[in-house]
Amino acid sequence: MSNFSRQIRFTSSMIRGLQYRISRSFTTIEGHRPTIIHKQGLDILHDPWFNKGTAFSMTERDRLELRGLLPPNVMSNEQQIERFMADLKRLELNARDGPSDTNSLAKWRILNRLHDRNETMYYKVLIAKIEEYAPVVYTPTVGLVCQKYSGLFRRPRGMYFSAADRGEMMSMVYNWPADQVDMIVVTDGSRILGLGDLGIQGIGISIGKLDLYVAAAGINPQRVLPIMIDVGTNNEALLKDPLYLGLQQHRLDGEEYIAVIDEFMEAVFTRWPHVIVQFEDFQSKWAFKLLQRYRNSYRMFNDDVQGTAGVAIAGLLGAVRAQGKPMIDFPKQKIVVAGAGSAGIGVLNAARKTMARMLGNNELAFESAGSQFWVVDANGLITEERENIDDDAKPFARKTKEIGRQGLREGASLVEVVRFEFPNCTVFNMHCTVTDTDIDTDVREVKPDVLLGLSAVGGLFSKEVLEALRGSTSTRPAIFAMSNPTTSAECTPEEAFSIVGDNIIFASGSPFSDVELGNGHIGHCNQGNNMYLFPGIGLGTLLSGSRVVSDGMLQAAAECLAAYMTEEEVLKGIIYPSISSIRDITKQVAAAVITEAIEEDLAEGYREMDARELRKLNKDELLCYVENSMWNPDYPTLIYKKD
């Protein structure tokens, strides 16, 4: 079929899609079509979905009985943004509650007020200034917001399901006004970032994540739903706080806990069968169990386990490229991982699978890949001797015989592990076969290439640990201080560059400024934030119509992100792109996810683009389809109609 024919077919498909959207009864603000509303005057100005503020045209003011209710000057979108930014700079200090309230929290409060009165303008500002405001609506500021949420609460956003609602959830979901929901982010508040159990206040993380789904992935804000599942809290301060808004009881556990989550999942998928549910900040105890329980039955994924893993894999592959090597050399990397919680184990599993796939994807490849990791948790180095070892960590426990020859021991400290010699497990490129003789445990002086922190322990990479890493034989050792928020980062970029050296690769979970190294050289601080992947994973899953989020789709997302940077950029030590490019990054990631879903025969299509039509799209057409499916914050023309 000629390219011209394909373009005609794709254009026809998009026309059919436009016709479909116009015929839908659910009111949205997609596209540029008029929107029918059933209110006038002040009722419109008080509705954040339809309020345009000073951007209402004079004809709309007459038609909607707004003349005289607004200043006479009609302002453009650009003027509104400029005016808001000027107000923001002026009001930041006035919005502070006192010396404990940071400047970022002041910005959050002002942005939140805009969100309350003009939803379209809010997302217009967020998209236009995403690099500045992503750290405000998401990490690190969202951590502070969650800690203070009971005091910051002004109007409800999202839904709350609690242990007290058992038996009622199926009817409760119909209290939400939208007949279509594409994306849910749900948390139980048990492990918010690195801050621990924040109970019902954790809903702030669900709200922040969905703001990024709208800004980065173009998910329609009328079709997102933040949800908090309140099963109690074990935070004694909250249990004693008379102003706490959640259930003041200890957390449910065991079968009682699972029963609540089961009822919730059944309820939301009964009302919205095609929704995608992202699990967020569930404690490690439940994160893996719930993921395995639901992932083959529902469209869901866990961002802490799978999203963090994907971003870390992209960064690890980027670090290999920064050494001037091809990504296929990844299985040769020696990696010390600090942290064995849900995020740490998620990264370990994904990294081992990636290495094994490069080595031939057989049993010996998995064994060889597993030998590249040394895992240290709060109790030290994890080995076979560890009592009551978590099942998820077992595959990465070092063999007793092996560490005995080296003089290491169960529970060895992080600095001991980083300083010590490693067994040189021979690995080859993907064109070679791994055999028993390839697994060589002769001891050589091979220090870790990568120090990866997912511990949620601020300052864990101490001066002593970083000094030990200076002995690495890697041409560019990499340090990933991935824990959020900023206070939980294992080290700062200044510490890493000053102690280990100028030639390192540095990445963190929260944003830090680049480091001036002198003589015009810059130490780049790469933010390995999950927002590079989860919006694209969600959008790609939505548009593909896949009934599950497969490992292959997640792997495709990670590899797409890893390949996004140019060779010139990675050789400078830049392994993650600028947040300012997030819409394009998300488009590329979503297309990669859709392509993988098609290859795995999981794609069922979305709306007018059925699976058969989806499979016919070439790469450029697919990217065009993704871009045209992304919502943009444009004011619709409003037309009043009586009920």
Catalytic residues: 138, 209
| Residues that constitute the known binding site | 191, 280-281, 304, 484, 529
Q: Is residue 202 within 8 Å of residue 220, measured between CB atoms?
A: no
Give residue 278's Cα distance to chain centre: 9
> Which residue is it, tokens 């409060």?
109
- SS3 label, residue 582: helix
Q: List the end-to-end C-alpha distance of the chain, in Å, as a whole number.
A: 50
**Closest among 8, 23, 208, 227 to 108, alpha carbons compared:** 208
| Residues that constitute the known binding site for (S)-malate | 191, 484, 529
Contacts of 209 (CB under 8 A, 6+ apart): 138, 185, 226, 278, 280, 303, 534
Beta strands at 638-640 and 35-37: parallel, antiparallel or unpaired: parallel
**Closest among 350, 396, 393 to 372, alpha carbons compared:** 396
- Structure tokens of 591? 């297309």
d(CA 295, CA 547): 10
Give the orientation angle of helix 363-370 with respect to helix 342-358, to 10 degrees.
130
d(CA 327, CA 316): 9
Question: Residue 493, preceding bond cis, omega within 30 degrees?
Answer: no
**Closest among 171, 172, 162 to 245, alpha carbons compared:** 162
Sign of the torsion formed by the C-alpha atoms of 490, 492, 497 and 499 = negative
Half-sphere exposure for 295 (CA within 13 Å, toward CB): 16
d(CA 408, CA 471): 18
- SS3 label, residue 539: helix
- SS3 label, residue 424: coil
**Closest among 119, 113, 111 to 51, alpha carbons compared:** 119
d(CA 74, CA 83): 13
**Amino acid found at 126:** L
- SS3 label, residue 335: strand
Contacts of 285 (CB under 8 A, 6+ apart): none
d(CA 71, CA 85): 19
Q: Is residue 58 within 8 Å of residue 75, measured between CB atoms?
A: no
Sign of the torsion formed by the C-alpha atoms of 235, 241, 245 and 251 = positive
| Residues that constitute the known binding site for a divalent metal cation | 280-281, 304
CA distances from 185 to 160, 162, 225, 236, 582 (A): 12, 16, 7, 26, 19
* Burial of residue 49, with CB atoms counted within 10 A of its CB: 0-12 exposed, 13-18 middle, 19 or more buried: middle
